[in-house]
Structure 1
Amino acid sequence: MSYNDRYTITTDPAWTIDRYPQLHLEPTDDGAIIVTTTNPGQANIQFRWTLNIVEPRTWTDVADTVPITVTGRIIAANDAPEWQPA
């Protein structure tokens, strides 16, 4: 998950998952598994930002909702599954 904001001074973001995405797994002839999203999930992010460099700072709260989608493939590498994002 990612979130683009335009502020340089922010608090650490806090993510919560409201709904997990529904995925489709499709095996391939070479042994990989193709992963695609059939129904996106939903995540919430919360953080604060400020334009003040020194204390006391005035903070602004941000809360937003972003979709969760997964696209990529899973392969077996060195006897362990390996994720390759698309």
Structure 2
Amino acid sequence: MLQTYEAILNGDRLEWSGGAPKPGRPVRVHVTVIDPTLDETPDERAARGKRMADALRELARSGAFKDITGPVAWQREIRKDRPLPGRED
């Protein structure tokens, strides 16, 4: 049975955030990185934010979304499930 624990990966060690596996024996784990931005320096984070803001400004300048009169309806339409290719039945 799989059990889930929260931890922070610090170098080559896991620092448990709450409950943890019982100590005293090796435990096989699968690690999924949830937030890769934890590794960013403040300068890298600021640069990423600036790039995102620049991209949004460029989209606004290009008029890419000017034909969307109802953003909520547009978003609902975009998110509708569609049949996968070859699975129309």
Please state which band the TM-score falls in when normalised by the shorter chain: under 0.3
Give TM-score, length-normalised by structure 2: 0.20
> Higher RCO, 1 or 2 (CA under 8 Å, sep at least 6)?
1
Which structure dedicates a bigger proportion of its chain to strand? Answer: 1
TM-score by length of 1: 0.20
* Structure with larger Rg: 2
